[in-house]
Each structure stands twice: as C-alpha cells, then as structure tokens.
Amino acid sequence: MPGELWDKLKGSVEQELRIVLLGLDNAGKTTLLTRLASEDASTITPTQGFNVKSVHSHGFQLNVWDIGGQRGAMLLERCFT
C-alpha cells in the first residue's frame, strides 16, 4: 500500500486494527502478510486453515487473520450444502 494511504489512515482509524485477509487460493494473501512483517516470503506454502499474526507496520498494530483460500472455500461449501 502506498505511503500516502497509510498517512491518510492515521488519525482517522484506531491505531490497533483487526484485519481479515480473504481471497482465492494462490492469490498472494500470505505473501502480502509476510512482506508486511518484513519476513522471508520465499518459502511460503498454501495455508491450511488460517494464520494469525500481529504486525507493527507504519505506526499501526495490525492483528491479521490470513485465511487459506482452498480450506476457506471448502468451509463455505460445507455451510451451503
């Protein structure tokens, strides 16, 4: 996310945010979260279930739920069948 957007968020939302990352499998959700945490994103495998990670970034504390696309889709399917 560009720096100006983080600046616009400051003062308009809480400093501690809860975020759920949703998207199709293989979309890049875990990569995004790993890069945000300044960790090595070269060995990421498909997320089974979900990850929760707390990241300090751009003056915010972000508590992020990273949901596995494939597993998430299976859970949704079960809800509707």
Ligand X SMILES: Nc1nc2c(ncn2[C@@H]2O[C@H](COP(=O)(O)OP(=O)(O)OP(=O)(O)O)[C@@H](O)[C@H]2O)c(=O)[nH]1
What whole-number distance in Å separates Cα of residue 58 and Cα of residue 10? 9
70 is catalytic: yes
Does the protein bind ligand X through residue 31 (CB under 6 A)? yes
Does the protein bind ligand X through residue 55 (CB under 6 A)? no
61 binds, among Mg ion, ligand X, none (CB under 5 to 8 A by kind): none
Q: Kindly list the strands in the beta sheet with 50-57, ordered across the sheet, starting from the edge strand earlier in the chain.
A: 16-21, 60-67, 50-57
Residue 65 three-state SS: strand
Looking at the annotation, which residues are catalytic?
70
| Contact residues: ligand X, CB under 6 A | 23, 25-31, 44, 46-47, 68-70
